[in-house]
Structures are given as structure tokens and as C-alpha cells.
Amino acid sequence: MEFNLDKLIRQNVKTMKPYSSARDEFEGDASVFLDANENPYPSAYNRYPDPHQKKLKKKVAEIKDVNENQIFLGNGSDEVIDLLIRAFCEPKTDEILVPQPTYGMYSVCAAINNVKVSEILLTSEFDINVEATIKTITPQTKLLFLCSPNNPSGNLLSTKSIVELAKNFSGVVVVDEAYIDFSKRESFLTKLKDHANLVVLQTLSKAWGLASLRLGMCFASPEIISVLSKIKPPYNISGLTQDVVLKYLADGKQKDEAVKEILTQREQLAKNLGQLKNVTKVYPSDANFILAKMTDAKQIYKYLLTTGIVVRDRSTVLLCDNCLRITVGTPVENEKLLDALKRL
């Protein structure tokens, strides 16, 4: 299927002039900065940060083995999701396609932008039905959001199916890999070169343990990246975040160790949950959480709260009847959860 980026970009986005920040309007090494109405008396943060996050992108490029011009950084992946919709979907006219159940922010961002959400059900194993998905695509469908590993089910979507959809869709396929570090499966980053319409989202909020810093990473062709850069708020990544993230990225070992421990705990927790009489099914997980079907999710959710333990009640979500989504915690936290469930 023909992918024509130029035709896909909203007309107003194509013709608009982006904001030009003070720091964009000169070249060379200045030492007296009287261009941005900053306070000249130094604090650690009196200057505006680099709007292009050059140092940070260089480091991310190194870690992810991509070019710097294939990277867009957002104030969390949530900002990237919003910008993708704003770049490609004309309000009241275009739509996004979202296989359900999945992460809620795709639909929320679409609603904020007055963009229609077209939904299709995942299979009972929470995988995509390629044929049905393709049938749901209309000329107005501009974005297809695929979350793999999927939230809240925890499973990976079939690689073959994602590839097939990328080949058969003339819009943009967004593969949200927020949890990919908890999976043995290779990231879709390696497939960017094969599909001009592929966008891969990752985040520092989960495996890297930096949710509070708000850094989402988007990988795509330089052309798609340029569109996002054109419409982003100029200083969307704070100087504090850029500095601190660079420090953490310098030591990937810390992340690897945390992931390793979480994976050990995940297997343990899954096994132990499976032996409880108030748990009727434990779904396989490639993420840092487990979806578990309970005898009575609502009641158990409330009971857990009385013991000071909060999990996510997903029982009203499609295909998730009586399900709780449980994040893998520390050994002590997981033990507390299991103890509480045993006492019920």
C-alpha cells in the first residue's frame, strides 16, 4: 500500500510557520545572552533549555542504535501520542483506529482533539485480528495504535501481524513499546528501515524507573520526526529533565539489574497468584505487570485497599471481566499482596 507522508500531514500543519525560539535565531558562540528575556542572575535554571535536546538525542541514538534525526523526545510518550494525532488527524473528519482493550490515552488524546476513535476487538488471547482490522480501515483512518506488549493484558502482539498491518495501511502505524524492555522479543526499532509509515514509542517511565522526569521517546523516519518537531512546544523537555536523564542514561547497568530482578519477581508472582483460590486465571506477561482474573475483582480490589494495597481494577474493560492488573513490586511488596489475598 502506498504511503504518502505529504498527503497525510494536515494542511494547516503543512503550511504553518513554526515558532522560532530566541536560541534558534543566531549561530556561533555567544557569551552575552540578551535575547530571551531571561533573568541574568544565575541560578542553576535561569536559562531556557536546548529546544532540540541535542546532547540527550546523541546519547539516546547511541543506546538505541538509530540516527539522531530518527528521534523525537516528548514530555512523556503521552505528549507524543497527542502530537501524532494533531499532526495527522483533521478534527471532526479523520479518525484513529484502536484495537481494544488497550492503553487509554490514545482515545483520550483523540477526544481532546475532537478526532473520532474507531475500535476493533482484540482476540480472546489479546492478539490482533489482521483481517478484521484491515476491514475497519477507512480513507479517514490516519493512525493505527498498536501497544506491544499490550497494556492492560501484558502480552506481545504477533510480529507478523504488525508487519502485515504496516504493509497494508496507507496511514501511520504506531507501535507503543512502553514495556519492551521487559520482553525478550526484539524491538520494532530494527524494522524502521523497512516501513516508512512505522512509528515506535518507548519511554523512560517503566524499565528505566524515571516516570517522574517525563521523557517519552519516539522513533520514526526523519520526515515524520520533522513534522512532530515542527508542532511541538519549543521547550517541551525541561533543562532539569535533560540534565538528570543524561546522568541516568550513562549507566544502563542499573536499569538492566532492575529489569532482571523485576522479571524474576514476575515469574514468582505469576506462579504464586496461580495457586490462590480467588484467582481463576493468570495471563502470560511480557511486561512489568500481570493481568489476573479473580473470583470477584471489585470486592477483592476494595478488600486490598483496606490492607493498604492498591492495584488496578480493570474489570469494566472489554475482555477483562473480573480482572485486576497488578504491577510487579519489590519482593516485600509482592509478599504483602499474596499474604493479603491468602487471608481473604
Ligand X SMILES: *Cc1c(COP(=O)(O)O)cnc(C)c1O
Q: Which residues bind ligand X (CB under 6 A)?
A: 76-78, 103, 147, 151, 176, 178, 203, 205-206, 211, 216
Closest separation between CB of residue 152 and ligand X, Å? 8
Grid coordinates representing 234?
A: 519549543
Residue 153 phi/psi, 5-degree rounding, is -85, -30
CA angle 11, 13, 14 (to 5 degrees): 65
Closest separation between CB of residue 64 and ligand X, Å? 15
| Cβ distance to ligand X smaller for residue 211 or 318 | 211
Closest separation between CB of residue 107 and ligand X, Å? 12
Residue closest to ligand X when measured from CB atoms:
76
Closest separation between CB of residue 149 and ligand X, Å? 8
Q: Distance (Å, rounded) from C-alpha 72 to C-alpha 279?
A: 41
| Cβ distance to ligand X smaller for residue 23 or 74 | 74
Q: What is the torsional sign of CA 236, 237, 239, 241?
A: positive
Sheet holding 95-100, edge to edge: 71-74, 216-219, 198-203, 172-176, 141-147, 95-100, 116-121
| Cβ distance to ligand X smaller for residue 9 or 66 | 66
Cis, bond preceding 234 (omega within 30 deg of 0): no
| Cβ distance to ligand X smaller for residue 106 or 169 | 106
Q: Distance (Å, rounded) from C-alpha 312 to C-alpha 325?
A: 5
Closest separation between CB of residue 29 and ligand X, Å? 34
Q: What is the torsional sign of CA 117, 118, 120, 121?
A: positive
Torsion angle defined by CA atoms of residues 3, 54, 249 and 102, in that order, rounded to the nearest 10 degrees: -30
Closest separation between CB of residue 76 and ligand X, Å? 3
| Cβ distance to ligand X smaller for residue 57 or 206 | 206
Closest separation between CB of residue 197 and ligand X, Å? 20
| Cβ distance to ligand X smaller for residue 116 or 312 | 312
175 close to 162: Cβ distance less than 8 angstroms: yes
| Cβ distance to ligand X smaller for residue 248 or 303 | 248
